[in-house]
A and B are shown apart, each in its own frame.
Chain A
Amino acid sequence: MIEKGKISSFQMALIMYAVVVATAILYIPFITAQQAKRDLWLSPLWAALSGFLIVLIITKLYKLYPKKTLVEYSELILGRTFGKIIGFIFLFFLLYDTAIAFREYGEFVESAFLHKTPIVVVTGGIALTCAFAVHGGIEVLGRSATVFLPIVLVLYVMIYLFLIPDLNVKNIFPIMEDGWIPSVKGSLAPHAWLSQFSLLSFLLPLLSDETKAMKWSILSVIVSVLTMVYINLGNIFLFGGIITNTQFPVFQAARYISIGSFFEHVESIVIAVWVLGGFVQLSAFFYMLVLGTSQWLKLPSYKPIILPFGFLIILFSIWSASSFQEMIHSMGTTTPFYFISIQLLIPMLLLCVAVFRKKLRQAK
């Protein structure tokens, strides 16, 4: 085992929640609204299906190969050569996914606060911070998740509670104007985000109480979906039809808060607290990437490759999209298919082969 630290199932659930929701609340409402229009709050409910499916597959695989991560058991299931290839495809995906997450973080901070700062400075700064956290190991991640995420979760809820006077519930009507197809189409991006639960595979071997793993991961999916529904509902109540043109609705909503004309301009607090969630998310991605790579190469430790990989992530985050518009466009059209096909199909394939092999062994 490379990692000696242990986390509890509750901390695992918090880390996975951060991995999915931190960037989801920024981008999901805008991307979903392009297709789903007023039904955008229904889309995460469809996406919950892929979240549950992936959690079931990953926990089933973990039961067949205890104390192993996806990169390790893919070699045991498919043999050395094919296992290494599948492992490489998955790790390359993880590198790309991590880079996209850093880019999302950078674009948001830049367009919200630091307009003139080069994006490399923003992403590089958080990458260095995350590198320290990753260097500390999984326990540091687990504890920062337990400390930060309750604050972040309260913030998400508070934004729309403060806006209650401005919310117009009638904006939600007509529900399913064009049938249920638009909401299914809009669910593409939430599907992609929730398919990230396949990364659970890297955390399961580190648990100190494995019996509760299933319960907490399902709960984590449910809370993630409910958060997305809540954020989307709040946005449709607040913005109505113009939601399709609002790039960062949650941030715009925070700007809108004004209570008794003295409680205003809370958007700086919102960003400061959001960055805490973003930090947990990015360090979790970063950690899984270096851990997976060192397992793939069978290295004794992951610590020396943290900084080189941080550099590589920043490069990929610049390389992955030439502009913000391009990134948003590909996130609504092609990238989700990449996410789903890697994170849903690879574990499915592995599970099919593993079950088949087990049957074959029993028949002998």
Chain B
Amino acid sequence: MKWGGILGITALLMLIILYEWPKLKKNIRKMQVVFFTVITIGWVLAILLILFPNMPGPSQLIDFIFKPIGRYWEIS
């Protein structure tokens, strides 16, 4: 199940790369670097989310930062 998910994600990202590559090839170097960086971030994050579905994320950080003021708002 998990391997299937990882394979599916990889296949999807490969499709995106294949779709964009003909146009990207003529583009400047910086564009290509940004494109592949975003793809890599997405790939790593997707695999992490498949392996650890309950991984703490930005929401937990926001909860941690704003919890005191949120609690004050709820009670008073």
Contacts and interface: CB of A to CB of B under 8 A. Distances in A.
Interface string B35-62: 1001101100110010001110111001
A305 B27 CA distance: 12
A311 B13 contact: yes
Given A185-B73, A304-B35, A307-B19, A312 B59 contact: no
A297 interface: yes
B73 A333 contact: yes
A299 B59 contact: no
Given A299-B31, A300-B31, A307 B20 contact: yes
A83 to B, nearest CB: 19
A305 B28 contact: no
Contact of A304 (B31, B46, B53): B31
Interface residues of A, number: 30
Contacts of B41: 312
Given A315-B42, A333-B73, A304 B62 contact: no
Given A308-B35, A330-B59, A299 B16 contact: no
A338 B65 CA distance: 9
A171 interface: no
A185 B71 CA distance: 12
Contacts of A311: 12-13, 16, 39, 42, 46
B69 A337 contact: yes
B58 A319 contact: yes
Contacts of A305: 34-35, 38
A12 to B, nearest CB: 28
A8 interface: no
A330 B35 contact: no
Contact of B66 (A96, A301, A318, A337): A337
Given A307-B20, A308-B16, A338-B62, A319 B49 contact: yes
B28 A315 contact: no
Interface of B is mostly: helix
B70 interface: yes
A299 B34 contact: yes
Nearest to A321: B59
A333 B70 contact: yes
B19 A333 contact: no
B45 A312 contact: yes
B40 to A, nearest CB: 9
B62 A335 contact: yes
A362 interface: no
A309 B49 CA distance: 17
Contacts of B38: 305, 308-309, 312
A173 B75 CA distance: 24
Interface string B7-26: 00000110010011001100
Contacts of B57: 316, 319-320
B23 to A, nearest CB: 7
B2 interface: no
A330 B62 contact: yes
A187 B58 CA distance: 24
Interface in A301-331: 301, 303-305, 307-309, 311-312, 315-316, 318-322, 330
Interface of B: 12-13, 16, 19-20, 23-24, 27-28, 30-31, 34-35, 38-39, 41-42, 45-46, 49, 53-55, 57-59, 62-63, 65-67, 69-71, 73-74
19 contacts: A185-B73, A188-B73, A299-B31, A299-B34, A301-B27, A304-B31, A308-B16, A311-B13, A312-B42, A315-B42, A315-B46, A319-B55, A319-B57, A319-B59, A320-B58, A320-B59, A333-B71, A334-B67, A335-B59
